[in-house]
Amino acid sequence: MQNFVFYNPTKIIFGRNTIPAIGPETAAWGNKALLVYGSGSIKKNGIHAQVTAALNEAGVEITEHGGVRSNPLLSHVNEGVAKVKEQQLNVIVAVGGGSVLDSAKAISAGAVVEHDVWKFFIGKKTIRQVLPLTTVLTLAASGSEMNSGMVITNDATQEKFGFGNRLLFPKTSILDPEATYSVPPDYTAYGAVDAMSHVLEAYMTTQDPSTPVQDRFMEGLIRNAMDSCDRCLADPRDYQGRADLMWTATLALNGLAAAGLGRVGFPMHMIEHSLSALYNVPHGAGLSAVIPGWLRWQAGRDSRKIKQLGERIFDFKAKGIESSATATIKILENWFGRINSPIRLAELEIPPADIHAIAGNAVRLAKIWRLKEYSRETIEEILYLCR
């Protein structure tokens, strides 16, 4: 095990009928809120009304900032920053999925500085202060509700970059599984893929069996992402399934699974970010197209961990399957197919001819994330396995 510091002060309020808590939880930090949300689905399913009622009840004034899209844009973040500054708001409330929460984090950091937010993402400036953030989660996927990271796409430069700082933990996140009942099947699946991929990136960081505590935790999360997603697709109003998927996604990227593994590299995300930046594919859809190819590439180098994963969670012996990395990858790939998440670039209408250009985009992020072994040629090699 490697040395680590673990610190995660986000308060999680989980369960049925918890959304009204956003009122007092927000009022503890400020009385003039920017309310950040997405395309307006929260107006249809009643969550917007619940949140605004709770905030009003607690004496919190609201300035609206809807319209966050998936793969959220820097330009929209900057509009939010301008509103906060103009109206001297003192707290941010995010209601949505990872894109909304990440936008809200970027706004919370940008609102207290004079320079452009993007400077944080390219390492030109350090976050020293933020506005407090509370959240109501409506999609099980990114884990942003209990971590200190954010991912934003710079629409001017076509770069999708991620960045973290310990000040970015939300103060409180409210996780009501019923708030995800109306998530359609495709985004339910993409969310599960996203959550699973976060664990898989960490799990694949170490190849030797030196992190047994973390390994078993992560193996359980991967299996739970699959099982709970299956339940949600079979019945979108299965509370148990929605609750399991939601908590799995939160635990998948709240720092705990990765604590002790050393630096976790996120190479699958690095490649996917280019797919999202260039083709605006949903993050989870891009990931499931990359994961099997990346795993095959990894199996050619060191297959121990992939094999261990399958042996621990897929019950090979009971099914009479010879345990191997190939069998593990096949089961994962089949599952992606079954939940209708793409397993080939072709399904995303990305032609092989584009691979060189995609690798050129990805290698820029590889440098920023210090993924030294990922040259443009290596990334191309992996992408060819994803065709």
Nearest distance from C-beta of residue 271 to a copy of itself, angstroms: 28
Piece of the chain touching a copy of itself by CB under 8 A; list 113-121, 246-254, 293-301, 366-374: 246-254
- Per rule CB under 8 A, is residue 16 in the interface with a copy of itself? yes
Piece of the chain touching a copy of itself by CB under 8 A; list 180-188, 241-249, 264-272, 349-357: 241-249
The tokens describing 257, both together, are 């699974």
Which residue among 61, 155, 227, 381 contacts a copy of itself (CB under 8 A)?
Answer: 227
Piece of the chain touching a copy of itself by CB under 8 A; list 179-187, 206-214, 277-285, 331-339: 206-214
The tokens describing 25, both together, are 């939880």
Three-class secondary structure of residue 11 per DSSP = strand
Contact status, residue 260 vs residue 210, Cβ threshold 8 Å: no
- Per rule CB under 8 A, is residue 223 in the interface with a copy of itself? yes
Angle at 257 between CA 123 and CA 275, to 5 degrees: 50
Q: Which residue number, 244 or 272, has a Cβ lying nearer to a copy of itself?
A: 244
Three-class secondary structure of residue 35 per DSSP = strand
- For 17, 154, 209, 367, 376, the CA distances from 360, given in Å and listed in that order, are 47, 17, 34, 11, 6
Nearest distance from C-beta of residue 54 to a copy of itself, angstroms: 17
Nearest distance from C-beta of residue 327 to a copy of itself, angstroms: 17
Which residue among 47, 168, 251, 291 contacts a copy of itself (CB under 8 A)?
Answer: 251
Three-class secondary structure of residue 343 per DSSP = coil
Q: Which residue number, 152 or 183, has a Cβ lying nearer to a copy of itself?
A: 183
Nearest distance from C-beta of residue 67 to a copy of itself, angstroms: 31
Q: Which of these, 79, 119, 100, lies nearest to 36 by C-alpha position?
A: 100
Strand partners of residue 174:
13, 136
- Per rule CB under 8 A, is residue 256 in the interface with a copy of itself? yes
The tokens describing 349, both together, are 């209408």
Which residue among 138, 248, 276, 288 contacts a copy of itself (CB under 8 A)?
Answer: 248
Residues 90-129 that bind a copy of itself (CB under 8 A): none
- Per rule CB under 8 A, is residue 12 in the interface with a copy of itself? yes
Within 10 angstroms of residue 319's Cβ, the number of other Cβ atoms is: 9
- For 17, 26, 88, 259, 369, the CA distances from 20, given in Å and listed in that order, are 7, 11, 25, 33, 39
Rounded to whole angstroms, the Cα distance separating 245 from 256 reads 17
The tokens describing 334, both together, are 């089949």
Please enumerate in sequence order all residues whose Cβ is within 8 A of that of 319, keeping only pairs 6 or more positions apart, or say none: none
Q: Which residue number, 147 or 276, has a Cβ lying nearer to a copy of itself?
A: 147
Nearest distance from C-beta of residue 24 to a copy of itself, angstroms: 13
- Per rule CB under 8 A, is residue 14 in the interface with a copy of itself? yes
Diameter over CA atoms, the chain: 65
> Which residues bind to a copy of itself, rule: CB under 8 A?
1-16, 18, 177, 210, 212-213, 215-217, 219-221, 223-224, 227-228, 240, 243-244, 247-248, 251, 256, 259-260, 317-318
